[in-house]
Structure formats: structure tokens, C-alpha cells
């Protein structure tokens, strides 16, 4: 088997006595969707935040493409192709949807120390941004302010912005939370299509989506990985059934 794209080794993080990440190790291979599931408060978002560079772990290492990025900040990781989407949408509310995405394109294309030429007139930025909006199905909302979009549309925009950074590995923190039925189906479809281009780590509560998309599933309970394997293995694991699926296995 080839080397993993992302390798997490013995990661740990505590807030006082509360150990939110305990000795977590996992490998994510290129071209796969690796889902992390677990009950509320299991430390999923904290884990993603450490992978994206927003939080610094207390111990352990994060290797990306064979390189130790444990101490690299978020902007540095994004430039290496490691992008994330946020569970609570973090958009620029006063920017239009198009501008939100165009800014992400601008971040990786050319210097931003340009002071005179209007950025809105840069066709290259707008074209690439429009393509990302089209990917997530938001083309007709391009000129609406991000702050005025519906909740589901914000989720889609959040994803378009992440895609605009041209990630090699995308960390998705509950991308379907709060989306309507149709939007969710659209996004699941999109992830399936993106799989060829982008490796994904997916945190999601929607079990139908997880089992439809994921190649590997890891189960996180109280900051510890209790099981990891193919979706069918994990589904059959008695420990997992007891800890997690038992209470939320009912189709939603």
C-alpha cells in the first residue's frame, strides 16, 4: 500500500482535566473518503481543528504528504492543499458569494499586494470563482451577499470557498448539518464526484450519507478512536453498536 496522504500519530489534546483527544492515530489515503463519526461531544471538531492547524495539539504528530506539519499554521497548511470547511459557517457576510470565492482564488493566485486595480474586474478570478459556485450549485446566487443566503446555501458556499483553494485534502466538518433534503442529496452527489480529485476527511451525523460515501470509517468516542475499518466492518462492530449506532441507528 502507498504511503498515506495524511498520517495522524498519537495525537492528544486536553483542556485542563478534560482529555478531548486521546492518543488518536489514523491514516488517510489519497483518493479516499475517510469518515469520522461519534456521538456529540466526542471531540470530532476538536480533532479537525488540530488537523487544519487552528488548534495546536499537546502531543503527537500530523504528517501530510510525508511532511511534519504539526507546527504549521492554518494558512500554511491551506497553501499545501489542506483545506477545511467549518461546522458553523465562517463566511464574509458583507461580501457577495462570488467575492467570497474569488478571494480564495486570489489567495493562491498572484500577489495580494496590489493596490490600484479593482479586484472585481479581474476576469480570471471571477471565472474560477464562478466555476466553483457552479460545482456546488450556487451559480444563480453569485451576486447575493453571503450574509443574506439561506442556511443551506451558506453550507454550499462554505464548500465552494474550500474548493476554490484547490485542496488535495479536504476536511469537512458536518457539511450536511442544517441542509434541506434536496441540498443534502446534491452535496452527497458532489462529494462522490469530487472523490477522484480530492481526498476527504468527513465528519457527519447523517449515517446514510456516511455509509454511502465513506471508504473508511473511524469511530471517535470520548476523544478516543474505538474502531476503524470499512463501513460494513464498523457497522458490525459490537462495541460501536453499543457506543454509538445503537442510539442513532434509526434512519433519519
Partner 1 sequence: MTDLTQTLARPRARLAGRLKLALCLFAVLAVVPPLAHAAGEPFLIVVATRMMVFAIAALSLDLILGYGAMVSFGHAAYLGLGAYAVAILSRAGIDDLVLQLLAAMAASALFAAVTGAISLRTRGVYFIMITLAFGQMAFFFFVSFSTLGGDDGVALPARSTVLGLPLLEGAQGMFYATLALLVAVFAGLYRLTLSRFGRVLTGTRESALRMQAIGFRPFPYQLTAYVIAGCLCSVAGVLLANQAIYVSPAYMSWHRSGEMIVMLVLGGVGSLTGAMAGALVTIALEEGLARFSDHWRLGFGLVLVAVALFSPGGLSGLLRRLGLVRDAT
Residues that bind partner 1 (CB under 8 A): 52, 54, 73-75, 78-79, 83-84, 86, 90-96, 99, 103-104, 106-108, 110-120, 122, 143, 145, 147, 161-162, 164-165
DSSP secondary structure, 140-189, as one string: GGTTSBGGGS-HHHHHHHHHHHHHHT--SEEEEESTTTT--HHHHHHHHH
Q: Give me the least distance between CB of 13 and partner 1, in Å please.
A: 19
Which three cell numbers, joined as nine digits, stand for 27?
A: 491514516
Residue nearer to partner 1 on the CB measure, 92 or 194: 92
Residue nearer to partner 1 on the CB measure, 33 or 78: 78
CA distance 102 to 131: 10
Which three cell numbers, joined as nine digits, stand for 165?
A: 483553494
Q: Give me the least distance between CB of 44 and partner 1, in Å please.
A: 17
Q: Give me the least distance between CB of 169 and partner 1, in Å please.
A: 14
Residue nearer to partner 1 on the CB measure, 83 or 240: 83
Q: Give me the least distance between CB of 89 and partner 1, in Å please.
A: 9
Instruction: Supply the Cα-derived Rg of the chain in whole angstroms.
Output: 18
Classify the C-alpha dihedral 24-55-102-64 as positive or negative: negative
Strands 216-221 and 33-37: parallel
SS3 state at 180: coil
Which three cell numbers, joined as nine digits, stand for 124?
A: 480570471
Which three cell numbers, joined as nine digits, stand for 231?
A: 463501513
SS3 state at 84: strand
For the chain, the residue count is 252
Residue nearer to partner 1 on the CB measure, 164 or 221: 164
Q: Give me the least distance between CB of 165 and partner 1, in Å please.
A: 6
Q: Give me the least distance between CB of 111 and partner 1, in Å please.
A: 8
Residue nearer to partner 1 on the CB measure, 120 or 242: 120
Residue nearer to partner 1 on the CB measure, 41 or 110: 110
Amino acid at each position: 500500500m502507498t504511503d498515506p496522504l495524511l498520517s495522524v500519530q498519537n495525537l492528544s489534546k486536553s483542556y485542563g482535566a478534560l482529555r478531548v483527544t486521546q492518543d488518536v492515530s489514523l491514516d488517510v489515503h489519497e483518493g479516499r473518503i475517510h469518515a469520522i463519526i461519534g456521538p456529540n461531544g466526542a471531540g470530532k471538531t476538536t480533532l479537525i481543528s488540530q488537523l487544519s492547524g487552528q488548534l495546536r495539539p499537546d502531543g503527537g504528530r500530523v504528517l501530510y504528504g510525508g511532511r511534519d506539519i504539526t507546527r504549521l499554521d492554518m494558512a500554511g497548511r491551506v497553501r499545501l492543499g489542506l483545506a477545511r470547511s467549518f461546522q458553523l459557517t465562517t463566511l464574509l457576510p458583507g461580501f457577495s458569494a462570488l467575492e467570497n470565492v474569488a478571494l480564495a482564488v486570489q489567495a493562491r493566485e498572484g500577489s495580494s499586494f496590489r493596490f490600484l486595480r479593482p479586484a472585481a474586474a479581474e476576469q480570471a478570478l471571477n471565472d474560477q470563482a464562478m466555476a466553483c459556485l457552479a460545482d456546488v450549485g450556487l451559480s444563480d446566487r453569485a451576486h447575493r451577499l453571503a450574509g443574506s443566503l439561506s442556511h443551506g446555501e451558506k453550507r454550499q458556499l462554505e464548500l465552494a470557498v474550500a474548493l476554490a483553494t484547490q485542496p488535495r485534502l479536504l476536511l469537512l466538518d458536518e457539511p450536511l448539518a442544517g441542509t434541506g433534503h434536496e441540498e443534502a442529496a446534491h452535496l452527497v452527489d458532489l462529494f462522490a464526484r469530487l472523490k477522484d480529485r480530492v481526498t476527504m476527511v468527513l465528519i457527519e451525523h447523517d449515517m446514510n450519507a456516511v455509509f454511502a460515501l465513506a471508504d473508511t470509517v473511524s469511530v471517535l468516542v470520548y476523544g478516543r478512536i474505538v474502531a476503524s475499518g470499512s463501513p460494513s466492518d464498523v457497522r458490525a462492530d459490537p462495541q460501536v453498536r453499543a457506543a454509538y449506532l445503537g442510539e442513532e441507528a434509526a434512519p433519519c
